[in-house]
Amino acid sequence: MKSRICLLLAATALSTAAWAQVPPYGPNDTLEQAKKAMAAAEAEARKNSWRVAIAITDTAGNLVMYQRLDDTQTGSVQIAIDKAASSAMYRRPTKAFQDELTRGADGLRVLTFPKSSHADGGLPIVADGKIIGGIGASGVLGNQDAQVAKAGADALK
């Protein structure tokens, strides 16, 4: 029994340490910030000739800005919004959920997380060390979606 309690305390300490590394929320992103992030994400997509949908949300996952490049598959519309919302609401890249799923077993628990996206391409937007929103891209491979989202998120660093 004593070893189980020690194990539980150790697991709790590790879990708390992991959460301490996640940036706190700040004020929601403004329209001007969203425009700047969107312009950078769009430029990255166009540079690579990628037809993607790009979404930017506030910290609660509410849509602030959205656009779809010409000839982007229609399925990418909602996926981009979901990636942006998920990364903002859960304060981590959507790739973290994807990685959990690939672990299997205990990692499958992320399937029960409401409104979580499990594909690479969503990132929190961080300004002054605080999460102010999320950005998601969809339309190409996951790592390419992530590259587009990163360009947008990096525009506000």
> Could you read off the pLDDT of 118-151 as tens digits, one per residue?
999 999 999 999 999 999 999 999 999 999 999 9
Q: Facing residues of 53 across strands? A: 68, 138
Q: How far, in Å, are 30, 65, 68, 122, 145 from residue 49 at the CA level?
A: 28, 21, 13, 19, 12
User: Residue ranges of the alpha helices (H) in 48-133?
Assistant: 76-89, 94-103
Residue 36: which residues within 8 A CB-CB, separation 6 or more? 155, 156
φ/ψ (deg, to 5) at 114: -65, 140
Q: What is the dihedral of CA 145, 147, 153, 154, to 10 degrees?
A: -170
Q: Is there a domain that residue 54 lies in? A: yes
How many whole angstroms separate alpha carbon 90 and alpha carbon 107?
Answer: 16
Q: Is there a domain that residue 55 lies in? A: yes
Which position has the higher pLDDT, 11 or 104? Answer: 104
Residue 28 — very low, low, confident or very high, per pLDDT cuts 50/70/90? very high
10 has a pLDDT exceeding 80: no
Contact 59, 41 (CB under 8 A): no
Q: Is there a domain that residue 4 lies in? A: no
Q: Is there a domain that residue 8 lies in? A: no
pLDDT tens digits, one per residue of 104-120: 888 788 887 888 889 99
Q: Which domain holds residue 102?
A: 23-154
The sheet carrying 130-138 orders its strands as: 63-68, 53-57, 130-138, 122-127
CATH number, position 143: 3.30.450.150
Q: What share of the chain is helix, strand, coil (3-state, %, to 5)?
A: 50, 15, 30
Q: Is there a domain that residue 123 lies in? A: yes
pTM: 0.85
Q: Is there a domain that residue 16 lies in? A: no
Q: Is there a domain that residue 81 lies in? A: yes
In this predicted structure, what is the pLDDT of residue 21?
79
Tell me how many domains the chain contains.
1
Q: Is there a domain that residue 1 lies in? A: no
